[in-house]
Amino acid sequence: MAEHIVVLTTTDTAEGASTLARAAVEARAAACAQIDGPIRSVYWWDGAVQEEQEWRVSYKLPAAKYAELEALIKRVHTYRHPGDHLHRHPARQRRVPGLAHHRNHPRRAAVGLRRLPGFV
């Protein structure tokens, strides 16, 4: 299993995305959360293809915290079946050409995950 993961979910409003992101970070279920949107989502629901505007929340966290984050999202999310909207991926560290990569650089991938108390 990956040491750190990224979990994605979507919601129907910017305010809902902010609520989900803040709840996870405040509860320390995720080291950080990022919000993208609006995005267009095309999906199958209630027997038909749907197309809606949504906001995506990406959470970065240690793999060991996944169950805690999943429970929090299911509790806070406004969708009927929020578990159907969770996607888990291994976090990848890679260098981006042109960016400085020394040990204290704020853009270095996953630095925050390793240095925040409670996220080791």
Residue 103 counted as domain residue? yes
The predicted pLDDT at position 100 comes to 42
Residue 31 counted as domain residue? yes
CATH code, domain with 76: 3.30.70.120
Quick one: average pLDDT of 20-32? Answer: 96
Residue 61 counted as domain residue? yes
Q: What domain range includes position 57? A: 4-115
The predicted pLDDT at position 77 comes to 84
Q: Which amino acid is at 29?
A: A
Residue 60 counted as domain residue? yes
Report residue 117's pLDDT band, with 50, 70 and 90 as the boundaries: very low
Mean pLDDT of the chain: 76
Residue 120 counted as domain residue? no
30 close to 24: Cβ distance less than 8 angstroms: yes
Total number of domains in the chain = 1
Report residue 26's pLDDT band, with 50, 70 and 90 as the boundaries: very high
Report residue 68's pLDDT band, with 50, 70 and 90 as the boundaries: very high
Q: What's the chain's Rg over C-alpha atoms? A: 15
Q: CA 79, 53, 24, 87: dihedral to nearest 10 degrees?
A: 80
For residue 79, pLDDT over 90 is answered with: no
Give the SS3 label for residue 4. Answer: strand
